[in-house]
Amino acid sequence: MALYRAHVLICHGTGCASGGSPKVLETFREELQKKNLDKEVLVIATGCHGMCEFGPIVVVYPEGTFYSQVKPEDVAEIVEEHLYKGRIVNRLLYKEPISAQKVCHYKEIPFYGKQHRIVLSNCGYINPDNIDEYISRDGYQALGKCITEMSPAAVIEEMKKSGLRGRGGGGFPTGLKWSFCAASPGNKKYVICNADEGDPGAFMDRSILEGDPHAVLEGMMIGAYAMGADEGYIYCRAEYPLAIKRLQTAIHQATEYGLLGENVLGTDFSFDLHIKEGAGAFVCGEETALMASIEGQRGMPRPRPPFPAVKGLWGKPTNINNVETWANVPRIMLQGAECFAAMGTEKSKGTKVFALTGKVKNTGLVEVPMGITIREIVYEIGGGIIGDKKFKAVQIGGPSGGCLVEEHLDLPVDYESLTAAGAIMGSGGLVVLDESNCMVDTAKFFLEFTQRESCGKCVPCREGTKKMLDILTRITEGNGKPEDLDTLQYLGEQIKATSLCALGGTAPNPVLTTLKYFRHEYEAHINEKRCPAGACQSLLRYTIDPAKCIGCTKCARNCPVNCISGKVKEPHLIDQEKCIKCGACMANCPVGAISKG
Amino acid sequence: MDAIQAIINGKEISAEPGMTILQAAKANGIHIPTLCDHPAVSPFGACRICLVEAEKNPKLLPACTTPLTPGMVVFTNTPKVIEARKAVLELILVRHPLNCFSCPSNGKCELQDVAYELGVKESSYADPGDTNTSHEYEDANPFYVRDLNKCILCGRCVRVCEEQAQYHAIDFQGRGIRTSIQPPVGSPIELSDCVFCGQCVQVCPVGALSEKTALGMGRPWDIEKVKTVCSYCGVGCEVEINVNRKTGKIANVTTNYSSPTALNKGRSCVKGRFAWQFVNSEDRLTTPLIREGDTFRKASWDEALSLVAEKLGSIKERHGGDALGFFSSARCTNEENYLMQRLAREVMGTNNVDHCAHL
């Protein structure tokens, strides 16, 4: 193997790639060749670093210099200055939002300081398209250990001891789940990886698949060995083309190395793995709908029992875990259950990956130990609220979750605490909301999503979410009725109690939690026809302060519907009946005489 | 396997292993309302009307899909259960039209029955300002009409088409409130795999599907069911002729999925279900006719059969048996066809035997 004096790691996750990182990589290769450095410096495409907000990200090793927002035209300077002359390019360093200081090295960035990257440990460090790099980081050692030294029962026992719980949202103990499938009679069993990540704003699983696909493969193979399965499916949504491509490469390379297929590592264990591309239905993340979809049926959940462990894919015993759960498995088996169980809280072990989005300064992918507080995630890792506005809530768990408010900031993030507060761990979506977010509008957004994605099979989810959405729409348009709040509460509770699957069973959560913590906002919409956050357009009123208006007529000239009247040099007036609330007047007023509220 | 012992509403019951709560309750004379369940098709769990409570289980359970387990203590009509059923029913009624007067299913509508049982007159959530979907009335084919505005998406038609008719011509399509039952994308029913066996119409609990030929032929309460064997072909399907007591005429034909004597087990074909109009047709022959010159005259069976025997006998005598040919019908039973070929071979001495079903 050739030796290089420096490595340039260029993020090729979906975020950075869409920001132009492939072009950056190409330019690096060209510039290095020009300087005759291509035998000394190796350029590598990696998976996601998590700080998608600041992409494309380039890290130069051995020192670990962290460049953010690198454009192709910056490359020549990095090559000339950093790689040729040994001087760091200051202007491209990441600027820390709180102290506004430039941060030079990866490990000094506060975004990473509180994180504990276990599942993501390879993401951003290795080339996901090269199995050798995975192997060099202890890859496939756990598999070897399991199938050559441990009995299937011992593997399951180790999983139970680790305390790992399903990372897809349900939080069911993984070892216990495996033991059900292992105990289920039958000589044909399946393992499935649920990669149908569909929550709006969530990209945990995508980043793992893109950054470290072999970890998922290895986890599935260990599970298959433990449960006696010889075939597996990765159900990945087709909207993740890069993840699918990397999985295909990973499967191909693992098969070439004899790590997949017949008689893995010369043992009796054989395993075949297929990728099934989903067609974009959110409900196919529900396990019974997912299996129906693999079978070629319409993605529609069916009641359980029978559970997949008894009667799953093609009627055979099947075990389904999500991407993050599978990716945890090799680490647990390699480092031991105790090591894993030492992280986290009493009932929630290990780490959890969150997609941190919304109104925080550092959005991106974070992996934190269970039990960390929401305050630490929002303020220390996330760097606080953009524009230093007031924190209002976090929506955790996506459309199935709920919102948590200021009083919950010090709540430890674990399955039980979140559920007790009315939210759920979910798959890891974490949206931060500030004072300019209307909570009624937020609840409406999620309900629009669940209604659109409801499979339409059971009545409460199909009809009930529509009814709730109609009411919310009415409220945000200023046509709410006082009794609407009781109806929302009642319908929400009934839909939760009567729906067939978890989609309907959790769909009312965003409404129920916002009703609980922000009832006054709902009441302001209904009783005062006012949106306190100023977000609901129908309730907005633009008014001109006659004391400030200089009568310049700029507002009237920019109004697209000609609803502003007034003589030159005299105060102007907005006709509220005609106003379409576009905001053009306010944007054009030179003296700030126009306000909205 | 031993029978399962359980308790439903305080009553000790015994059920066969593998039975669902709903099946066990039914077998023990305990009523649980349901809309999507039907004995002819597999359980589905969609309508959520049959929810029940079980001890040590915080969740409401659908009786139609939950297996009864030994020692289970089930309650089918607690306040919580009734409340949930009412909420679900009112959600169904948000979009279901309440113009029952003109609905062909009035009187046999299962949604009506459930609403009556629960004392729900209308949906308290229905709002004139609601944005709802509206479907066109589909009556392009000669056999049945589809009024999807009345459809409650119970999925019985989809399941009966897949499991009984085995065509899978229709399925759920669209998501959320836009979900509807349709043939494959973009094609109308007439151009789909549908063979118009009409089983979907029979299992529809509401008036979303109705027989075109039965419209105006009689209200459900005027009907008397007459069990018989379909005369359309030799298969011998058991059917029920639904006769309007007031007019004495056939209103429609149905089948019985739970009849122990039916070899067709409730299944039907398009002819058996929809082609019964010949029964009361004016063109139908009701007596034998004998040709005399250019005209026919009515005759008795004895006279007609004697004439046929005499003519056949004389042809055989004059020209030999092979001058005759015997042509039978696929509408006859196997036994009838067997007898006919014996008549041809043994009595008339010819092997010239054929029938109409080799097209």
Residue B267: name the closest of B239, B241, B243 by CA.
B239
Instruction: Flag whether B85 is in a domain.
Output: yes
Q: Is B23 part of a structural domain of the chain?
A: yes
CB within 8 Å of chain B, chain A residues 474-493: 474, 479, 487, 490-491
Q: How far apart are CA A208 and CA A134, in angstroms?
A: 13
Instruction: Name chain A contacts of B153, Cβ cutoff 8 Å.
Output: 456-457, 459, 462
Q: How many domains does chain B have?
A: 4
Burial of B70 (0-12, 13-18, 19+ CB in 10 A): exposed
φ and ψ at A9, to 5 degrees? Answer: -100, 120
Please give the average per-residue pLDDT across B55-74, as a whole number: 95
| CA-closest candidate to residue A229, choices A328, A302, A326, A129 | A326
The answer to whether the beta carbons of residues A275 and A243 sit under 8 Å apart is no
B124: closest chain A residue by CA = A487
Q: CB-CB: which of A305, A456, A474 is closest to B175?
A: A456
Rg of chain B on CA atoms, in Å:
27
Residue B65 identity: T
DSSP state of A301: -
Nearest CA in chain B to A466: B177
| Ramachandran region, residue A42 (left: φ > 0; alpha: ψ -120 to 50; beta: rest) | beta
Q: What is the mean pLDDT of chain B?
A: 93
**Structure confidence at residue B129 (pLDDT):** 60
Task: Return the CATH number of the domain spanning residue range A439-527.
Answer: 1.20.1440.230
Indicate yes or no: CB of B48 within 8 angstroms of CB of A500. Answer: yes
One domain, residues B225 and B322: no
B184 — contact with chain A (CB < 8 Å)?
no
Strands A190-195 and A318-322: parallel
Q: Chain B closest CA to A560's CA: distance in Å? A: 29
Interface of A with B in 427-456 (CB under 8 A): 451-456
Q: Are B83 and B123 in contact (CB under 8 A)?
A: no
* Window A:492-551, CB contacts with B under 8 Å: 494, 497-500
- Domain over A540-596 is classified CATH 3.40.50.300: no
Q: How many CB pairs under 8 A join A and B?
A: 102
> Which CATH number describes the domain made up of A131-341?
3.40.50.11540
B64: nearest CA partner in chain A: A303
CB contact B88 to A (< 8 Å)? yes
Q: Which of B91, B127, B171 to mutate against chain A (most A CBs within 10 Å)?
A: B91
pLDDT bucket at B20, cuts 50 / 70 / 90: very high
ipTM of this predicted complex? 0.88
Classify residue B116: in a domain, yes or no. Answer: no
| pLDDT at position A359 | 94
- What distance in Å separates the CA atoms of residue B38 and residue A521, rounded to the nearest whole number? 46
Query: At the top level of CATH, which class does the domain A6-109 belong to?
Result: alpha beta
Does a structural domain hold residue B126? no
Report, at the CATH architecture level, how domain A351-429 is classified. Roll (3.10)
pLDDT score at A95? 82
Residue B132 confidence (pLDDT): 62
pTM value is 0.88
Instruction: Give the residue carrying structure tokens 């039990």.
Output: A371
Structural domain of residue B298, as residue ranges? 289-358
| Alpha-carbon gap: B136 to the closest alpha carbon of chain A (Å) | 20
Distance CA A68, CA A281 (A): 35
For residue B148, the chain A residues in CB contact (below 8 A) are none
Q: Are B60 and A498 within 8 A, CB to CB?
A: yes
Cα(A133)–Cα(A142) distance, integer angstroms: 16
How distant is the Cα of B184 from the closest Cα of chain A, in angstroms? 12
Domain ends where: B93, B124, B142? Answer: B93
CATH of residue B156's domain is 3.30.70.20
Confidence of residue B359 (pLDDT cuts 50, 70, 90): very low
Q: Hey, are the CB atoms on A452 and B47 less than 8 Å from each other? A: no
Whether residues B105 and B181 fall in one domain: yes
Domains in chain A: boundaries = 6-109, 131-341, 351-429, 439-527, 540-596
In sequence order, what E strands does A308-428 have? 318-322, 351-358, 364-369, 391-396, 402-405
B309 and B209 belong to one structural domain: no
Query: A500: which chain B residues are within 8 Å (Cβ-Cβ)?
Result: 45-46, 48, 62
Q: Is residue B17 part of a domain?
A: yes
CATH of the domain at B82: 3.10.20.740
Residue of chain B whose Cα is closest to the Cα of A484: B125
Q: pLDDT confidence of B133, banded at 50, 70, 90? A: low
- Residues of chain A predicted below pLDDT 70: 1, 97-98
Q: Is the pLDDT of residue B163 over 90?
A: yes
Dump pLDDT digits (tens) for B170-179. 999 999 999 9
B105 with B188, same domain? yes
Listed in sequence order, the residues at least 6 apart from A165 whose beta carbon sits closer than 8 Å to its beta carbon are A171, A172, A173, A174, A348, A349, A415
Question: Looking at the complex, does the CB of residue A288 fall below 8 Å from at least one CB of chain B?
Answer: no
Pairing of strands A564-565, A429-434: unpaired
Chain B CB within 8 Å of residue A296 CB: no
